[in-house]
Amino acid sequence: MQDIQEVNQKSFYYELKNGDPILQSQWCTAMAIDQNNEMVLMQQNGLIKCFQFKHNVLKILAIIQNPKEIVKVVMFLKNRSTFLSTKGDSIINWPMNLMQCCKFINKQKLHSNIINCLILNQCQNLMVSCSGDQTIKFWQQQSNLWFCQQTIIKHKQNVKGIAINQKGDQVISYGDDMYIIVMKFNYQEQIWQVQQKIKGEKRLLGLCIISDNIFTFQYELSKQLCIYTNSIKNLHFRKTQEIPITLGKYFSYSLSKFIPQKNILINFSGSQVNLLKINQVNQNNKLIYKLIQIIDFQSINSGIISEDGQYLITWDYLSKQVNIRSYQEINDV
């Protein structure tokens, strides 16, 4: 079993910053923060808003009028002057310099139904998408266009989400058919292959890869995170643990993300956000963890955590504000 990366094991909390909050009355369906923690994107009711992020304050730079189709993803590209958004079954490539021109660079259809999730590997030379058309597609970029290298059709219903590991050679998907599909890249044959299909018990949400050997997800309305692990002896994943979390009311969606630099697992669940410290894996393949902080919004919410785990940016229906929290370390007593 591959252990969790050894990092500073100090405790932490996310401190609310009292700068000028951004009032936003409509639901934020998608958010993104760039790798340098300098720019933030938000999608709201047919608008994409671009903010400068500096000294814990958001300053609006540009607003893009986007036709009222469902936008589920906005995404910065590392070391490039563009960002991506989805629009129904397509992606749109936008220039970062939106102050001068709010016209997109190009639009490209990827699927025959709405795109539910879009992910990139660390090098950003591989993009993976999933859709209501029941497919998972693997893409490589040439110039400003993406070319499909492979399509996997193993789900029988809408593919809700996908996750990719740090090395970029393992992708895990989940769908409305209640199946989880584990795919591995075969370096010798240069193709993606289905390694395992796992049947869930009910609707799955919030799948997150912690390491090559560990992933987690949550069943709808469940107060448990299911932990699946594998080992050198057994390459197939199996459920080895359930971690209790707080659910809160107004369950609208579940989202989990692991920050390897800080070994933090963040889980949006209902009206609450659970923040856990993942320490290591013991000899029985059990995660050693600690629930550090619970943020209760008392309403539906959405949010994003920065790639380095330094900032947590959220929106909630009760306050109708975008709030910023920053990571603070504390010494355990």
Q: Give residue-wise pLDDT tens across range 62-120.
A: 888 766 677 889 999 988 888 999 999 999 999 988 766 678 899 999 999 999 999 99
Residue 2 lies inside a defined structural domain of this protein = no
Q: Give residue-wise pLDDT tens across range 124-142.
A: 999 999 999 999 999 999 8
Q: What is the CATH number of the domain that holds 91?
A: 2.130.10.10
Residue 257 lies inside a defined structural domain of this protein = yes
Residue 5 lies inside a defined structural domain of this protein = no
Residue 3 lies inside a defined structural domain of this protein = no
Residue 172 lies inside a defined structural domain of this protein = yes
Residue 96 lies inside a defined structural domain of this protein = yes
- Ranges of the chain whose pLDDT falls below 50: 1-2, 333
For 42, the domain range is 11-330
Domain count for the chain: 1
Residue 42 lies inside a defined structural domain of this protein = yes
3-state secondary structure the chain: CCCCCCCCCCEEEEEECCCCCEECCCCEEEEEECCCCCEEEEEECCEEEEEEEECCEEEEEEEEECCCCCCCCEEECCCCCEEEEEECCEEEEEECCCCCCCCCCEEEECCCCCEEEEEECCCCCCEEEEECCCCEEEEEEECCEEEEEEEECCCCCCEEEEEECCCCCEEEEEECCCEEEEEEEECCCCEEEEEEEEECCCCEEEEEEEECCEEEEEECCCCEEEEEECCCCCCCCEEEEEEECCCCCCCCCEEEEEECCCCEEEEEECCEEEEEEEEEECCCCCEEEEEEEEEECCCCEEEEECCCCCEEEEEECCCCEEEEEEEEEECCC
Residue 79 lies inside a defined structural domain of this protein = yes
Give the global pTM.
0.93
